[in-house]
Structure 1
């Protein structure tokens, strides 16, 4: 499972997690020709193939402008996690700041999210109301606002059921994880390459996608080897 952030932003901005449009296209082409790309919510379905899930955090404009047209060309599914307060309340005047530059990255507007929510291969997921690190949120009312009310706002505005959640910065505590488990079918976190326990379907590990195509091929070779060893262990 891979997590992307921005696609094709100006390299001089030095944004963390940015990958060029050309490199991203190489990733998508490789996945399309060599792997089974599935949606996040179909991960539990049994398959003998090596599968890949593509996720995008923050709901950035570059997903809408750059990544999505490439994914649509290859008819591949993806999940984009959005923060409804940041996208809807101020129509994208807010920006995500990943501690790189003050101006931050431009988000999709609420209208753009509503537009893509009806597309066959796009899943809209919840990324908290306004990109809070839930490791440091402990009060029940605050957690409910960030997790449950955020989910409801997306569902109400887009007319969809939100099933998935992504923890900003990969951060969570016992209370936030418990609430996410009760309100969402699946959740994703950070570090890790191989999903070895899809049964739990929570805090699933993801590998950063802002790497070269050679790194992607190495990851896939590595996970195939590890998966084979795990399978042979239980034979």
Structure 2
């Protein structure tokens, strides 16, 4: 029997800002309503971790909802929709930016606001899970070993101090975490999700869990097909296009981290 399959959905901002990291509120509402209508169980990262430890078995197919960065529109727009269905997402936070705005490389202009610590504590009390997205939203592959480890440890300590509960889950900014960084992540956290496009299973590497980028499923009919188990060819196509783009942008294939001078 094949192992259970988990679709880990990846969101960032739920707004009208445009770009690959924003999904309009109308589309988001339709995606969540279609998910609820599908009957597929929505679980949490804690449920996945418990199953890997020998706890309750996972369903044959399930969904996990993840949000990177902690934009304030999660509180204003996403959470009211999710809570109505009883869905419990996880939000990955870059701790130095909490209560401020995105000021990292590749961020939108003008910058989007992030939630405050008070808002995050209130959401945690309502059932939202939180994980780390480093301190500064750094590309960990570009840092030396001490600096990347500090990003991992300091962010976890900050979150645990604010939330008064264990923080077990991580998402590397930009989805970049080479073998050395993944080894460090494993010393601090118990799971890590990236941006590698695909479905996870209970046997997947817990420190390189693939996700489904929801920007690719703004077409509601395509999303309904995916929920019904009919969209694998489309996912293969998107993965192939990504590989071609990466090969064009990075022809050497080299990892820039810790390269000799």
TM-score normalised by length of structure 1: 0.84
In the TM superposition, residue 24 of structure 1 has moved relative to its aligned partner by: 0.9
Aligned CA distance change for structure 1 residues 198 and 29 (closer, same or farther; 3 Å): farther
SS across alignment from 1:53: strand
Aligned to 1:24: 28
In the TM superposition, residue 144 of structure 1 has moved relative to its aligned partner by: 2.2
Q: Does 1:188 align with 2:193?
A: yes
> Do the aligned partners of 2:41 and 2:59 also contact (CA within 8 Å) in 1?
no
In the TM superposition, residue 98 of structure 1 has moved relative to its aligned partner by: 6.2
Aligned to 1:113: 120
Aligned to 1:5: 12
In the TM superposition, residue 49 of structure 1 has moved relative to its aligned partner by: 3.4
What is the aligned residue count? 216
In the TM superposition, residue 152 of structure 1 has moved relative to its aligned partner by: 0.5
In the TM superposition, residue 119 of structure 1 has moved relative to its aligned partner by: 1.9
- Runs of at least 5 residues in structure 1 that lack an aligned partner in the other structure: 226-235
SS across alignment from 2:174: helix
Aligned to 1:37: 42
In the TM superposition, residue 50 of structure 1 has moved relative to its aligned partner by: 1.7
Aligned to 1:75: 86
Higher mean C-alpha displacement, 193-202 vs 15-24? 193-202
SS across alignment from 2:66: strand
Q: Does 1:14 align with 2:18?
A: yes
Aligned CA distance change for structure 1 residues 135 and 77 (closer, same or farther; 3 Å): same
Moved over 4 A (4+): 222-225
Give the counterpart of 2:70 among 54, 59, 62: 59
Aligned CA distance change for structure 1 residues 66 and 198 (closer, same or farther; 3 Å): farther
Q: Does 1:208 align with 2:219?
A: no
Q: Deviations over 1:86-136 (max 9, x none)?
A: 11xxx32x325563643222111122112212222x110100001111111
- Runs of at least 5 residues in structure 2 that lack an aligned partner in the other structure: 1-7, 234-261
SS across alignment from 1:161: coil
SS across alignment from 1:52: strand
In structure 2, C-alpha distance between the alignment counterparts of 1:157 and 1:47, rounded to whole Å = 30
Superposed CA RMSD in Å reads 2.1
In structure 2, C-alpha distance between the alignment counterparts of 1:19 and 1:86, rounded to whole Å = 21
TM-score normalised by length of structure 2: 0.76
Q: Deviations over 1:51-100 (max 9, x none)?
A: 0111000011111110001000000110000011111xxx32x3255636
